[in-house]
Amino acid sequence: MRTLAEPAGYEETIKKSRFVCQAARADSPEEAQTFLQAVRDAAATHNCWAYQIDQQYRFSDDGEPGGTAGQPILRAINGHGLQHVIVVVTRYFGGVKLGTGGLVRAYGGVAAECLRRARLVEVPVYRLLQVRMPHDVAARLYHLLAEHGAQKVSESYDSAEVTWLLRVAEPLAGDLELALRNASKGIAKVVALQ
């Protein structure tokens, strides 16, 4: 997953209106809203924004004509292939109307330039797997965890079985599931939790 390594900012004046863009990583909608509240300027004409967090996204035109601000900001995020990002573009009106096409270009362009200048980072995506098996089978499967770079988050026991909660990099999760099933001859029950 590509995201921002640190908060980023960019400012541009377009036909006498000042557009100030601020972007940050947000790992939940609540974090995105917290950032929005922190950078929102009540003295500005508009505080338009968008975020993309996994399959969740939202945007707001904050009083600009529908589709002229929030959606272009979201397209800038998606155009850079970013996740877990919120972008806020604050406009200080300078007296010259831009028209709908001008607003789309201004909001989308300022957001895209901010993200283009931002320092990005690749963050590995992990999956959680729950594995349930009889006690005698668990001993035969331990070596597979290291081979697939899996981290054991927890291990619990009852009278009949052992349950592991594993954290594994997304690209290796399918291989680990298959290896656990094969090595246990289908006895181990593997469930992906996320």
pLDDT tens, 79-128? Answer: 999 999 999 999 999 999 999 999 999 999 999 999 999 999 999 888 89
Q: Cα separation of 85 and 79, whole Å? A: 12
- The closest of 146, 112, 134 to 189, measured between CA atoms, is 134
Token code pair at residue 190: 């593997």
**pLDDT at residue 65 tops 80:** yes
176 and 152 in one domain? Answer: yes
**pLDDT at residue 194 tops 80:** no
140 and 50 in one domain? Answer: no
Q: Cα separation of 87 and 49, whole Å? A: 6
131 and 153 in one domain? Answer: yes
* Global model pTM greater than 0.95: no
pLDDT category at 170 given cuts 50, 70, 90 is confident
130 and 105 in one domain? Answer: no
DSSP lists the bridge partners of residue 121 as 3
Of 66, 92, 122, the position where a domain reaches its end is 122
Contact 2, 83 (CB under 8 A): yes
75 and 13 in one domain? Answer: yes
CATH number at residue 138: 3.30.70.240
Number of structural domains (the chain) is: 2
Instruction: Give every strand in the sheet of 8-14, ordered side by side.
Output: 8-14, 17-25, 85-92, 46-53, 56-60
Q: Which domain holds residue 130?
A: 126-192
Single-letter residue type at 185: K
110 and 17 in one domain? Answer: yes
59 and 135 in one domain? Answer: no
149 and 99 in one domain? Answer: no
Token code pair at residue 8: 């980023």
Q: Cα separation of 185 and 176, whole Å? A: 14
